[in-house]
Amino acid sequence: MTPPSLSEMIGRIHGLPVMPAVALEVLDSMAGADTDIKDLARRITQDQAIAARVLRVANSPLYGLQMRVASIHDAIVVLGFSAVRSLVLAAAIVTSLPAGRCPGFNQERFWRHVLGTAVAAQALAKPLKRSPEPLFIAGLLHDIGRLVMVALYPEHYTRVLDQVGEQDCCLRDAEQTVFGFDHAAVGAALAGRWNFPADIVDALAWHHEPERGTPDGMAAVIHYADAISQALDLDGAENGQMPRLHQKTIDGLGLDWQKLTEVLADTEARFNSYQLMLG
């Protein structure tokens, strides 16, 4: 069973479910395209599955609203376009990219981890004085390459998971052994093909090796957010693996213990609401 090359895998992307049109419009709006908020709210509402998940989180304790938000338009007015845009993308990605059948791969834990990483990145934005929206999206997508590998080549990924269990190695090492490349390479290639912003592509490519990413780019933040999600056991796995941390990168972010404690608390609060996306 010969493993595919990276180019062969990316060539099969067309076989995956496409991103909902409204999600692509949201991404265009991030790139500075003219956006009619009323029209976008109407488009979001037409996708009932996405709208329902967005409103579920908008009405969660995270936002502490006095009155229930009953429509996407009201959510934009109350929470702001940026917050709703992030919610829409999260709902769109969770609903449109299911994993294939692969023994040993737990899809719920996968989504819990990536949502945890996304909200951890969001929580890190404030002390790091970064824009939270692109960090949230990069966190949400950081492991998307793994989902592609599972969906397109489940038999090969079963070998990856078997190797992790037999040799007690990390997933990335097993991916490299079986495929010759890892999920970060697949995710970056996919994001580039979907015309995602360059800084998000960079973050996906180098979130495990932030020293190789663009200086002062998002890869360092996603690297840390990934570790925070793992440390808080947000995926619910009994035997989760902590990622290898690049200590120089972590030190370079300059967060003291007090700020980190606040980030951890903020991450847990956000996750408790965002996990409603999965229900």
Instruction: Kindly list the averaged pLDDT for each block of 10 residues, start to end, along the chain of length 279.
Output: 87 75 75 70 86 91 88 88 86 75 88 95 96 92 92 93 91 95 94 84 96 93 96 82 83 94 96 86
Mention every residue, 6+ apart, whose C-beta is less than 8 A from residue 191: 141, 144, 200, 201, 204
pLDDT value of residue 24: 76
Q: How far apart are CA 104 and CA 45, in angstroms?
A: 36
The answer regarding whether domain 100-279 maps to CATH 1.10.3210.10 reads yes
pLDDT value of residue 33: 57
In the structure encoding, which two tokens stand for residue 133, read together? Answer: 């929206």
With H, G, I as helix, E, B as strand and everything else as coil, classify residue 259.
Answer: helix
Considering only CA atoms, which of 194, 192, 215 is closest in space to residue 204?
192
Q: How far apart are CA 221 and CA 202, in angstroms?
A: 12
pLDDT value of residue 22: 78
Listed in order, the ranges of the chain carrying CATH 1.10.3210.10 are: 100-279
Considering only CA atoms, which of 200, 208, 197, 201 is closest in space to residue 230?
208
In the structure encoding, which two tokens stand for residue 221, read together? Answer: 């933040």
- Entry pTM: 0.90
Q: Break the chain down into helix, strand, coil percent, rounded to 5.
A: 70, 0, 30
pLDDT value of residue 17: 67
- DSSP for 134-165 reads HHHHHHHHTTHHHHHHHHH-HHHHHHHHHHHH
Mention every residue, 6+ apart, whose C-beta is less than 8 A from residue 219: 202, 203, 205, 206, 207, 209, 210, 212, 213
**Is the CA virtual torsion 205, 211, 212, 213 positive or negative?**
positive
Considering only CA atoms, which of 1, 18, 4 is closest in space to residue 190?
18
Q: How far apart are CA 49 and CA 250, in angstroms?
A: 38
